[in-house]
Each structure stands twice: as C-alpha cells, then as structure tokens.
Structure 1
Amino acid sequence: MADDEDLNPKNHPTDNAEKDPDDWVTGDEPMTGAQRSYLKTLSEKAHDPDAYDEDLSKAEASKRIDALRSKAGLES
C-alpha cells in the first residue's frame, strides 16, 4: 500500500510547481485574465511597454512575466 501512496500526486503537491511553460498541456491557450493584468502592470513597472501583447499564449505570458519580474527587480 505504501507504494500506491507514493504514486499519488496529491501526496506531492509541489513536485511540478516549477514545470517549464513549454511543457504545459494548456500552454498554447490564450493567456488568462490574471496573466494579462499582471503582465500589463509589470511591463509598466519595468518601463517596457512593448513586452505587453494581448495575443500571447499562457506559456509565452508566463515567460514574459518571469523576465519582467527580474527586470523590475521583483524576483522571488
């Protein structure tokens, strides 16, 4: 039984917390509203308005958010 528990992803909630956006199943879908809002704010804080694009995918928005967080000095 212990082996079944080890295989249950609910027992390891952070295992893929840092999954590469290129590997996301839904990465090609349009970015979410939250991503859109945060990307807009970050592009303004980083003084890089060209980084914001309404037509980004979820994966591309995530990558730009990470880059802008670094540029704006907001890395975690």
Structure 2
Amino acid sequence: MEKEICKISVASNWLGDEYIFYEDHTIKRVYDNHSLNSNKTEWLKPNEISKQSKDKIVKGCPEEFKEQVMQILDYP
C-alpha cells in the first residue's frame, strides 16, 4: 500500500465522511450511510467526486498538503 498523504473529514453531521489521499494519487473514501451501515469504503477517481465535495475537501485540507491534494483532485 502506498504512503498516506492525509485524511480529510467532510462530515456535516454525525455520519462519518472521510477522504484519504495516497502518494500514488489514489483516493479512498470511508463513510457512513446511516448508524447501522457504517465505515463503508470506496476507491474513487477525481472525476467521480462532485465539485461540491471537492470544495469541502480543499477547504478542510491542512495547508501543508493542500497543493498536493489539489493536484490529485485536478482542482482548479
């Protein structure tokens, strides 16, 4: 497994929603559908992430990783 760059939580309520970025430019999302269906995992490509979600990810990204994460997301 590639080295992790950072984890960014974009949860807006008590349900978890976290994106994990790796050095090989892969993106893993771990999220909860509801309280009985938690910690679901999916691997995403940048074009599978909505503009709204990308905005939240970049906004929540630690400054030292922001440029790298923006490149992975192909964020303007």
Output the TM-score relative to the length of structure 1: 0.34
Q: Which has the larger radius of gyration?
A: 1
Q: Higher helix share goes to which structure?
A: 1
More strand by share: 2
